Structure 1
Amino acid sequence: MNMTYQFLKSYTFKSGVTVKNRVAIPPMTEGMSLENGEVSTDELNYFNIHTGGAGMFITPVANVNALGKGFEGELSVADDKFIPGLAKMAATIKQNGTKAILQIFSAGRMTNSRILRGHQPVSASAVPALRPHAETPRALSEDEIEQTIADFGAATKRAILAGFDGVELHGANTYLLQQFFSPHSNRRNDQWGGSLENRMRFPMRVIEAAQQAIADTATSPFILGYRLSPEEIEEPGIRIEDTLKFVTKLNDMNLDYLHISMGNVWRPSLNNHDDKEPLITKIQRVSPDTPLISVGNVNTPADAEKVMEAGITFVAIGRESIREPHWVQKVEAGTEQSIRYNLSLADLEELGIKTPFFEFLKKMNDAGADQKFDVNDAQTKTVDTDRIDVAFRK
């Protein structure tokens, strides 16, 4: 085993959970759940192929209630009836010591009435997303906000009962948690909107609900993480200064980690082009007590080690983990030369990539994603799967 790489070293979270290495598989939409949100055998096969190497495997996102569904083939944790299937998923992922983390969310306005079977999307305010064919959502009432917070807590409880090792709250990629934080999607003038402090209130309450569920239900240490996108390009929208104040608050919330969602680990500001400092470095300075997971365009062991050398606690490997499910195992065995960096269409069956997932990847290619994923056939296809749900929504 090559233990010279820092990313192969174990880590113990505040919660007391120890992970065997600093590599995480980030949540990547594969669209292979059943229509009602239950786990499918195709998903279990995919997870069985791709798990066992990384310290943490974070699942594709699961909605916490019916109005939270964002796309077809999406996982759900909105009802107790889903627990048996989720238990199979957790058990499948937990091979060779890999920790299974369930990502949970509500899509908010990033859905449509067709996906919601005739219901209007909901959000912080009645402001549509700036994307083609976006529907205008209705603003959640005070009672609905409180119920949604409770739904996140109930989803966390179900994850514990299903045998997961942790939950990641999806506050990134323009979904509901981010919609409350964003001045673009949140135009409220009550306690849930207006000032930066008020716009933080909903995500902070969701974190507290998840923490309470863990305290009430978990009989052993349980991981709680939060994923965020550091900027928006909308006007008004989230700027890095807002995020740094939010992260400062989150640093006091006793979270196990923050997962920074970007298409490139070292990306600088999308809005201030004169500032070349990577956003992850800015966030790192204001989060001294909370580990960070950094993701985006990490392919080789050298790429991953560069993240470690910058003092970032975890590195997430997304696109590369699709084409090389044994990336960590090959590094451990000292056979890095055998790592696969290209994907042939002939490999899809071997890798458990079924039609919904493959069509999703093709759709990302058609959308012109800016981070490239090589699929070698007569014509090369490129997609960005670390930011797959961002691209799909835009």
Structure 2
Amino acid sequence: MSDITDRLFTPFQLPNGVELKNRLLMAPMTTCTGFYDGTVNKELIEYYQARAGSIGTVIVECCFIDNLGLAFPGAIGIDNDDKIEGLAKIAKVIKEKGSKAILQIYHGGRMVEPKLIGGQTPVAPSALAAPRDGAATPRALSTAEVAGMITKFGEAVRRAIEAGFDGVEIHGANTYLIQQFYSPNSNQRDDEWGGSRDNRAKFPLAVLEITHQMVQQHADPSFIIGYRFSPEEMEVPGIRFDDTMYLLEKLAARGLHYLHFSVGHTLRPSIVDTTDPTPLIQKYVAMRSAQLAQVPVMGVGGVVNQCDAEVALDHGYDLIAVGKATIAYPDWTDRIMAQQSLELFIDSSKREALTIPEPLWRFSLVEAMIRDMSMSGKKFMAGVFQEKVVDESHELLVNVSLESDGIKNIELVADSQPDAAFLDSFEIIRSRILDANSPHVDAVTGATTQSEAVKKAVSKALAKSTKAAQLADGGEAKPQQYDVVVIGTGGAGLAAAIQASDDGTSVLVVEKMPVIGGNTIKASAGMNAAETRFQRIKGISDSKELFYQESLKGGQHKNNPVLLQYFVDNAPEAIEWLADRGIELNDITTTGGMSIDRTHRPADGSAVGGYLISGLVKNLTQRAIDVMLDTSVTEIVSEGNQVTGVRVLNDDNEEQLIITKAVVVATGGFSANSEMVVKYRPDLDGFVTTNHKGATGGGIALLQQLGADTVDMGEIQIHPTVEQTTSYLISESIRGGGAILVSQQGKRFHNEMDTRDKVSAAIIALPEKYAYIMFDEQIRAKNKAVEEYLARGLVVSAESPKALAEKLDIDLHNLLATLENFNVAVEKQVDEEFGRRTALRHPINQGPFYAIRIAPGVHHTMGGVVINGESAVLNSDQQVINGAWAAGEVVGGIHGANRIGGNAVADIIIFGIQAGRNAAASARG
């Protein structure tokens, strides 16, 4: 080993005498994995535990010190004493592995997005928006609030000490609040905290001072105090390097144990003087005083291999922080000590093995490192395949370049003339496909249609290439053959495909629509289950028997008891099945017809559908499961009473026979087939539907051709809260979060948490035949679905009930009385007026106040084909059709006459798993 390498792995002593076992630290990196309220979860604890040990020190991601200070979703907090217990678990697992545990603390200031803090206005030194598109203008902190903010930093240090951390890192970088106070760009105050450079330096110095005070009161001298800084700002006026050196000298004089140089690469030069290639670390070493030189300096950025760390040490850094490499390689230090040469990428199938939390997996920093290694076993004809990209506004050509084992490039044909917005989204989706080596990736937010069009073009190129490779090998394309064919890509179909693949069978998924997701992607509330691990964590006492009885009551006792019992018994296992595959539903709310919180949803309170489909698609891609989009199944082929194949027709009108031993039909219901709806329920003529346009009952017709029986076809559910101009469903979780329904007269008129059929009937009985779902800021803060409603322009908002009443033309006297009566009911936990017993969470009394005009819409068809307790399809003689399985809304009998909110997502996962498992077993046997 060289002298530098020896220094890298030998112990290092900080100025306070604390010895680190080596000079390597895990850099603090956003994971977006905390619960919606900033508390720690099991996934986060396991993430840090997996990376501690050989590395000398772990710096845990930044914790917000105030509930207005979180700068990203899924942030963890240290803003109150309730957070200590969870943070202590992280500190404990790090220290037990032999590493030091340091916690970074921060406040985002003007970099906070209002939607992350419940729509409130961010705070900052001055009321100046950050120089970026769409940035909110913050509220300037008063002089008293500045002092209060310093106290909050001090309290955060105390909590870190009580949680057992070995130190804190004060986050004075990344243009967050501390840096904002020092910057002449963001701090234009005229009091003692602004103006001159000395005044602007007071805030970071005050934070350091209160940190020392807390250490003196609650810890011992071994407690580590670090400070992270960004050396320059590009803005004019802005922080320049000599400003930074001035501040660092002052911080060093007060006492620090290390400085963390926040740059994108350890050897980055100036971003202001772009003509000077000198690394900033060299300037720092040359300019620092003898006193500042006593404070160790840490470098970060671009460290993947041993040589990267050695070069950084050679240029003057004392400590090395490692970021992305420790995500890709939890045992990174061991690998470097073994002198391995590493490449910075992550195998798309290794998320669980690498203990990477699902939210971090979906974070752009990590997504850019993911590669799909699963296509290496497939054979493509190398070459360039030209395909059309068609959406509402464009018809363009792309060249998809393929190699024998995957996708090489995707380029727009030169004479294509897309607009700038399309080009932006194209580059993002192109990168995602190339990084994943698969077209089955998440669409670009705000550009879903364009993304799906590009993904479709790539999928068609892959299909043509595969066919060409087959012809080249054998001279004639043979019928494709799979053990299991799954029809439909909603939650039931994807769960079935994943389970069948996990059980060792080859699987093809066929979808008639151009996109994956079916109706599931529109699901909003969550997934019902009783006696789950997540309920126990939250102290919720529930029982499967109660869940059964409430589902039976909601279904008006028409439910198939065998299917309902299997549904209830297997719901907790389905929750764990998802969690095992990186899809954790660990937040819990309630829906109408339930007496207990058992509706499981994502930790951030967001709509369940998109989260679920995104996670299932990643699992689909990891397993290299083939998918045909824009392809209709025209016939399920059988010989005697045995399924032998399916005939499909793609959007190029090409017909193909696919040989298979088992078919899982998971095509959904028929709510979007108005003719079929009216056939069974003439009274629903003219109703809008919440379903996607592919929910037309095609799977029922396919199975009826085989002789399948049907049940409950007239049992069609209307959902009470549908925005009528867009047919957009307003999630039941909003009422489950505490919202109420009021009429145009400003009065409540029914128990909002009653079953959907009864609430819908009550709305239809109103003279105006519509109502408003009304809630306040407290409910919005805990239900991320509201952000989408706001973005879509569905919400009317106002700062007070009076202003809201004026906007809605509602009688103010009635509305105020309604709110007062409801708030009293919440206080007493007794709703004497309408008998509401659940979701009396808190008074509706914190502005802004919100309302969405709603009325019922066709939402779910409870009827469908008949299955037995194994998900096998039965004919009219109640005999099994061999090889035919079904799951999801295509099946009848489970929900009886009315489906409980949250039971559909449970249905598709529970029976999707069962159908996939049994289809695989029948195909193998």
How does the TM-score come out when normalised to structure 2?
0.39
Q: How far apart, in 2, do the equivalents of 1:340 and 1:266 lie?
A: 20
Q: How far apart, in 2, do the equivalents of 1:313 and 1:379 lie?
A: 42
Match of 1:107 in 2: 108
Maintained 8 Å contact 1:27/1:58: yes
* Equivalent position SS for 2:327: helix
What amino acid does structure 1 have at the position aligned with 2:437?
A
Q: CA deviation at 1:5?
A: 3.0
Query: Is there any run of 5+ residues in structure 2 with no aligned partner, and where?
Result: 369-423, 442-925
* Equivalent position SS for 1:60: strand
Maintained 8 Å contact 1:344/1:376: no
Match of 1:144 in 2: 145
Q: CA deviation at 1:355?
A: 2.4
Change (3 A) 1:339 1:268: closer
Maintained 8 Å contact 2:34/2:75: yes
Q: CA deviation at 1:97?
A: 2.1
* Equivalent position SS for 2:260: strand
Selected match of 1:352 from 309, 333, 355: 355
Q: How far apart, in 2, do the equivalents of 1:244 and 1:379 lie?
A: 48
* Equivalent position SS for 2:293: coil
1:307 aligns with 2:312: yes
* Equivalent position SS for 2:145: helix
Match of 2:339 in 1: 336
What amino acid does structure 2 have at the position aligned with 1:289?
Q
Maintained 8 Å contact 2:360/2:366: no
1:292 aligns with 2:301: no
1:6-60 Cα deviation digits (max 9, x unpaired):
2111111122221100001111000001111111111011111111122111011
* Equivalent position SS for 1:59: strand
Q: How far apart, in 2, do the equivalents of 1:379 and 1:210 lie?
A: 49
What amino acid does structure 1 have at the position aligned with 2:328?
R
* Equivalent position SS for 2:68: helix
Decide which moves more: 215-224 or 195-204: 215-224
Q: CA deviation at 1:114?
A: 1.5
Decide which moves more: 267-276 or 146-155: 267-276
Q: CA deviation at 1:362?
A: 6.1
Maintained 8 Å contact 1:39/1:86: yes
Match of 1:82 in 2: 83
Match of 2:45 in 1: 44
1:139-178 Cα deviation digits (max 9, x unpaired):
1011110011011111101101110000000000000000
1:165 aligns with 2:171: no
How does the TM-score come out when normalised to structure 1?
0.90
Maintained 8 Å contact 2:208/2:251: no
Change (3 A) 1:363 1:343: closer
Maintained 8 Å contact 2:10/2:22: yes
Q: Which structure's CA Rg is the greater one?
A: 2
Decide which moves more: 226-235 or 344-353: 344-353
Change (3 A) 1:379 1:7: farther
Q: CA deviation at 1:199?
A: 0.8
When the two structures are aligned, how many residues end up with a matched partner?
376
What amino acid does structure 1 have at the position aligned with 2:307?
A
Higher relative contact order (CA 8 A, sep 6+): 1
1:110-134 Cα deviation digits (max 9, x unpaired):
1122111132100000000011110
Maintained 8 Å contact 1:323/1:340: no
Match of 1:203 in 2: 204
What amino acid does structure 1 have at the position aligned with 2:320?
V
Q: How far apart, in 2, do the equivalents of 1:277 and 1:379 lie?
A: 41
Query: Is there any run of 5+ residues in structure 1 with no aligned partner, and where?
Result: 382-394
1:247-276 Cα deviation digits (max 9, x unpaired):
221221210011011101111111112222
Match of 2:330 in 1: 325
Match of 1:384 in 2: none
Q: CA deviation at 1:329?
A: 1.6
Maintained 8 Å contact 1:16/1:221: yes
Change (3 A) 1:266 1:129: same
Q: How far apart, in 1, do the equivalents of 2:89 and 2:262 lie?
A: 27
Q: CA deviation at 1:340?
A: 5.5
Change (3 A) 1:331 1:362: closer
Match of 2:274 in 1: 273
* Equivalent position SS for 1:104: strand
Q: How far apart, in 2, do the equivalents of 1:376 and 1:42 lie?
A: 25
Change (3 A) 1:42 1:2: farther
Q: CA deviation at 1:213?
A: 0.2
Change (3 A) 1:220 1:256: closer
Change (3 A) 1:22 1:147: same
1:236 aligns with 2:241: no
Maintained 8 Å contact 1:23/1:54: yes
Q: How far apart, in 2, do the equivalents of 1:219 and 1:289 lie?
A: 21
Q: How far apart, in 2, do the equivalents of 1:325 and 1:128 lie?
A: 38
1:124 aligns with 2:129: no
* Equivalent position SS for 1:61: strand
What amino acid does structure 2 have at the position aligned with 1:207?
L
Maintained 8 Å contact 1:345/1:376: no
Q: How far apart, in 1, do the equivalents of 2:96 and 2:304 lie?
A: 23
Maintained 8 Å contact 1:24/1:54: yes
Change (3 A) 1:80 1:69: same
* Equivalent position SS for 1:167: strand
Q: Taking every aligned residue pair, what percent have the same amino acid on both sides? A: 40
1:245 aligns with 2:246: yes
Maintained 8 Å contact 1:2/1:331: no
Decide which moves more: 48-57 or 206-215: 48-57
Decide which moves more: 11-20 or 294-303: 11-20
Q: CA deviation at 1:330?
A: 2.5
Q: How far apart, in 2, do the equivalents of 1:379 and 1:213 lie?
A: 52
Change (3 A) 1:364 1:337: closer
Q: How far apart, in 2, do the equivalents of 1:316 and 1:104 lie?
A: 17
Q: How far apart, in 2, do the equivalents of 1:113 and 1:120 lie?
A: 6
* Equivalent position SS for 1:341: coil
Q: How far apart, in 2, do the equivalents of 1:363 and 1:348 lie?
A: 11
Following superposition, which runs of at least 4 residues in structure 1 exceed 2 angstroms of deviation? 1-5, 335-342, 361-369
1:199-257 Cα deviation digits (max 9, x unpaired):
11000000000110001000461000000100111111111121111122122121001
Q: CA deviation at 1:81?
A: 0.8
Q: How far apart, in 1, do the equivalents of 2:339 and 2:351 lie?
A: 22
* Equivalent position SS for 2:362: helix
Query: Which of the pair is proportionally richer in strand?
Result: 2
1:377 aligns with 2:455: no
Maintained 8 Å contact 2:267/2:279: yes
Q: CA deviation at 1:70?
A: 1.5
Q: CA deviation at 1:360?
A: 1.4
Change (3 A) 1:330 1:363: closer
Q: CA deviation at 1:2?
A: 9.8
Maintained 8 Å contact 2:49/2:97: no
Decide which moves more: 215-224 or 121-130: 215-224
1:173-197 Cα deviation digits (max 9, x unpaired):
0000000011110011111111111
Q: How far apart, in 2, do the equivalents of 1:157 and 1:376 lie?
A: 43
Maintained 8 Å contact 2:281/2:315: no
Match of 2:405 in 1: none
Q: How far apart, in 2, do the equivalents of 1:337 and 1:290 lie?
A: 31
Decide which moves more: 34-43 or 211-220: 211-220
Match of 2:647 in 1: none
What amino acid does structure 2 have at the position aligned with 1:303?
D
Q: How far apart, in 2, do the equivalents of 1:138 and 1:35 lie?
A: 24
